[in-house]
Structure 1
Amino acid sequence: MFNTQNIKKTFLQIFRQIKDFLLKPKSREFFIFLFFFFIASGFWFLQTLNEEYDTDFSIPLHLNNLPDNIVLTNDPVSALSVRVRDKGTVLMNYKLSRKLPPIELDYSQLAKQKQNHIQFSAVVLEKQILSKFNVSSKLLSIQPDSLEYIFAKGKGKRIPVSFRGKIEASQQYFVTDTIFEPDSVSIYAPSALLNQVDTAFTEETELLGLSDSTTIKIPLQYMKGVKFVPNYVILHLPTDIVTEKTVKVPLRGINFPQDKMLRTFPSYVEVTFQIGTRSFNTISEADFAINIDYWDLRSLEGDTYQIKITKAPSQAKKVRVWPTNVDFLIEKKTTQTND
């Protein structure tokens, strides 16, 4: 156990040692030197900042009020790089405490030129750029030196959304559904391009090791000359714990002539599948179908048929049957006559 008196004594001893060190003549000289060193450094730093320097800044460039049926068919510049000259103190203030607001371009102003291809010098924006800085700042250069916008009045249509990527649940879980919100989006594009696009794909996305139901916002894959509204979807991925279920499904003959009938050995097969615990009681043998076509049997050389599942619910995963093959006979129906 710690002794309180010993701890107090130790702290007092350390305090005296520090005090004796600071009060030594050499220590006082060292701290006096540091004091004047920091003062001199501060004056030197202020003097340096009082000189003029050139610094580059990036200013966002936004195009506003673009109608839904107007499509930008090129990749416009999203930011301007400008070089500014001013005193160091002013430039440091820009860097540390000010976030430069974007330059706003209005589509309605550009549309007054009544052209689909608009190109103009960035110097036109000089007044807007300078308004982001102090009066003392001088604008030296703007990059890029010209801006280009190519518009197309696009026709619109609705197309479905499809996921592009990989979705995997963790062990003992599986994803029961993929739900897009919305499940379709409007697209606008020139007529020639519009006819070529029938699906909106998401950006390549990997969602691995899912155990809980997940909701994620995914942007749609960019296509030059095509505008998606909206340009993203919300993907819902419900998950469930995996369990197995087995049902007995009868075999049914179809397309048989009226005077013929099918006999199989056995007359049913066991269908085993994985299902979520929440859907376990909602799936039964009635949700499955195994139809055996007469003409498929006629094309066989032997009397053994390989089972193919005709219908299965979407919730059932990793469906398998037993037995996988059955023997069959095609019999002629007997007709009864009345004496």
Structure 2
Amino acid sequence: MKLKERIDLLSDLGKFLKTKPDSLELAKIKASKENPWFSPENINLAVKAIVENYLNADKLRSFCDDYDIGPAEELRVSIVSAGNIPLVGFHDLLIGFLAGVKTEIKLSAKDKDLIPAMVDFLHKKEPAVKEWLQVIGQVKDPGAVIATGSDNTSRYFESYFRHIPRLIRKNRNSVAVISGEESRSDFEKLADDVFVHFGLGCRNVSFLYVPRGYDFTEMIKVFKEKYGQLADHSKFRNNYDYNLACSILNKEVLIQSEVLLFYEKDNYLSRIATLNYKQYHQVDEIWADVQRRSDQIQCVVAGNLNAPKSIDTTSFGKTQSPGLSDFADGKDSMDFILNQKTALR
């Protein structure tokens, strides 16, 4: 298949998804029943972001123009997908298909219904795709692998796939820098960055830098108004209650709101239903800290502050709308695959 044909097929997939086909709607219902973290609202947000940011023909062509993709090759690339948020492995699958290699994806048991519905459309639209795009149950002797997991599973992946080219991703978290001059609209958008997907994604804000003596009152008010319903979600509420009980028993100092617990901890990784924060004196302290810990960060949200050119920042409310070039862990998976293709020639 030629690159133009692959782009056209992906564009057709985007148009198909906009029609809310029965096959996808059934997959959404099944996914929500099997994984309570995959709410219908969050699945719809994930699909919408994919359609708008990944499956637009002009965006796909512009993205591919930045690479020397060349003809298709027999290289087989296996993707081991995470399952923390809906459709988290779709970008890797798309990149492999665009790159012109035989791409197969092993899905997490937590997210095994949605991507097959999309792959099935491509197979029916163009049967030749079956040779280039597959959902598999087990990874067997690939030419290269892209695997995503926790810090613990990444060590396993490094060992298990040590004999082949590999791109291994670890834990990442996103941070937001608060200036103290945010508007209500800013907090509404920040709420999306924090709460969409229940905060389970690497692009979710899990840590705040706040001015010393910062008053959280307005932020808490807006968070409650926009996402107060999460207090009624059983799994989210269980985590909230557990974290609060542990804090009381351990006599931890915290700021308690109805949907979120705030802890002054210098740790980017926060537990479900919690948000860690660190106070700063001067904004330059933040940028130095962010650069020092860049290997732990996926997104830096900085609405009202100008970061140094060496730090890429995201606007409030945009963390869950990555573009084609917003690679997880900052590792260019297209470049990785193309390097493996070159090695075969």
Q: TM-score, normalised by structure 1?
A: 0.19
TM normalised by structure 2 equals: 0.19
| Higher normalized contact order (CA 8 Å, seq sep 6+, divided by chain length) | 2
Q: Mark the structure with the bigger radius of gyration.
A: 1
Please state which structure has a larger fraction of its residues in helix. 2
Q: Which has more strand, going by share of residues? A: 1
